[in-house]
């Protein structure tokens, strides 16, 4: 009996245009150990609605018409698990390259960028622990960067709805206007040459940013926040997993996602 994986769905049209070839490589960062999650398997590999959690963002990115290749950054210890458990669980259109994780997320992204094949003008960097990203959000973010040459990057983001407090110790010192604040999500999309240069500069200066957009910002680049789904949460602690499970179940029920026989990938895993 053949193995079965999540069914491939019809890819949405590329935002704003229909004719160009895929110009973006996805870099999925799966190198974290997930200490706060508290599961020895690691948050990227726990089962979410029948598949390893990181299968879901892998599918969303693979289905995006702008994506033509996928790089997965993982530790050497998990490389076999990605090959033998994650990739066989899904039907992918594109070739996958595995890159070694670094000591920090920033080091891991840098490693992934070195593995991006030549010819891809843009990269979409995504956290493997964000399973609820949609293909539509991926395409919208890519289109925002593609259509504005003045941008240094475009990131998926959501407006902050909570009241924010500036605190010293445990004492509130100010309540800022929350209309100025957004939650940075992923993917974050950049021109390949630009983000590589920003990472090289950060390594030279021993600068550690909180996300990839911050590396562009410190060099004077303008980064756009693209408002996308608030459901695109990051699974960091066990409570996040419960929410992600409920949201994914609701999505699968509404979309009627079924199962397909697993078909060969677009190319060999490297």
**Pair 183, 160: CB distance under 8 Å:** yes
Question: What is residue 39's predicted lDDT score, i.e. its pLDDT?
Answer: 59
The tens digit of pLDDT for each residue in 87-110 reads: 999 999 999 999 999 999 999 999
Please give the angle made by the CA atoms of 161, 30 and 262, to the nearest 5 degrees. Answer: 105
**Pair 221, 129: CB distance under 8 Å:** no
Least confident range from 23-37, 75-89, 103-117, 227-241: namely 23-37
User: Is it the case that residue 261 has pLDDT exceeding 50?
Assistant: no
Least confident range from 9-13, 88-92, 252-256: namely 9-13
**Partner residues linked to 143 by β-bridges:** none
Length, in residues, of the chain? 270
Residue 255 — pLDDT band, cuts 50, 70, 90?
Answer: confident
H or E element that contains 239? helix 238-255
Residues 104-119 as b/e (b if ≥16 CB within 10 A, e otherwise) read ebbbbbbbbbebbeee
The tens digit of pLDDT for each residue in 193-231 reads: 999 999 999 999 999 999 999 999 999 999 999 999 999
Compute φ and ψ for 124, nearest 5 degrees: -115, 110
Question: What is residue 43's predicted lDDT score, i.e. its pLDDT?
Answer: 77
Tokens standing for residue 130: 């964000």
**Pair 95, 68: CB distance under 8 Å:** no
Domains and CATH numbers, the chain: 22-261 (3.90.550.10)
Query: 18: cis peptide before it, omega within 30°?
Result: no
User: Is it the case that residue 239 has pLDDT exceeding 60?
Assistant: yes
**Partner residues linked to 135 by β-bridges:** none
Question: What is the C-alpha to C-alpha distance for residues 114 and 123, in angstroms, rounded to an integer?
Answer: 11
The tens digit of pLDDT for each residue in 140-170 reads: 999 999 999 999 999 999 999 999 999 999 9
pTM above 0.85, yes or no: yes
**Pair 32, 44: CB distance under 8 Å:** yes
């Amino acid at each position: 009996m053949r193995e079965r994986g999540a069914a491939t769905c019809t890819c949405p049209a590329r935002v704003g245009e229909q004719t160009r070839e895929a110009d973006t490589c996805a870099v999925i960062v799966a190198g974290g150990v997930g200490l706060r999650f508290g599961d020895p398997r690691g948050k990227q590999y726990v089962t979410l609605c029948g598949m390893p959690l990181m299968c879901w963002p892998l599918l969303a990115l693979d289905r995006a018409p702008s994506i033509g290749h996928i790089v997965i950054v993982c530790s050497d210890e998990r490389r076999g698990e990605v090959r033998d458990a994650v990739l066989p669980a899904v039907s992918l259109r594109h070739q996958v390259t595995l890159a070694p994780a670094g000591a920090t997320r920033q080091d891991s992204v840098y490693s992934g960028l070195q593995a991006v094949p030549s010819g891809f003008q843009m990269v979409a960097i995504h956290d493997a622990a964000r399973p609820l990203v949609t293909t539509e959000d991926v395409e919208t973010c890519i289109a925002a960067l593609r259509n504005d040459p003045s941008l240094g990057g475009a990131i998926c983001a959501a407006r902050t709805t909570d009241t924010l407090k500036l605190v010293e110790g445990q004492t509130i010192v100010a309540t800022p206007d929350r209309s100025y604040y957004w939650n940075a999500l992923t993917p974050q999309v950049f021109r390949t040459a630009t983000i590589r240069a920003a990472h090289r500069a950060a390594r030279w200066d021993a600068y550690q940013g909180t996300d990839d957009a911050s590396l562009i910002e410190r060099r004077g680049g303008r980064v756009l926040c693209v408002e996308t789904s608030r459901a695109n949460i990051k699974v960091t602690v066990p409570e996040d997993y419960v929410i992600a499970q409920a949201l994914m179940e609701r999505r699968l029920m509404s979309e009627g996602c079924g199962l397909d026989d697993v078909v060969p990938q677009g190319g060999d895993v490297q």
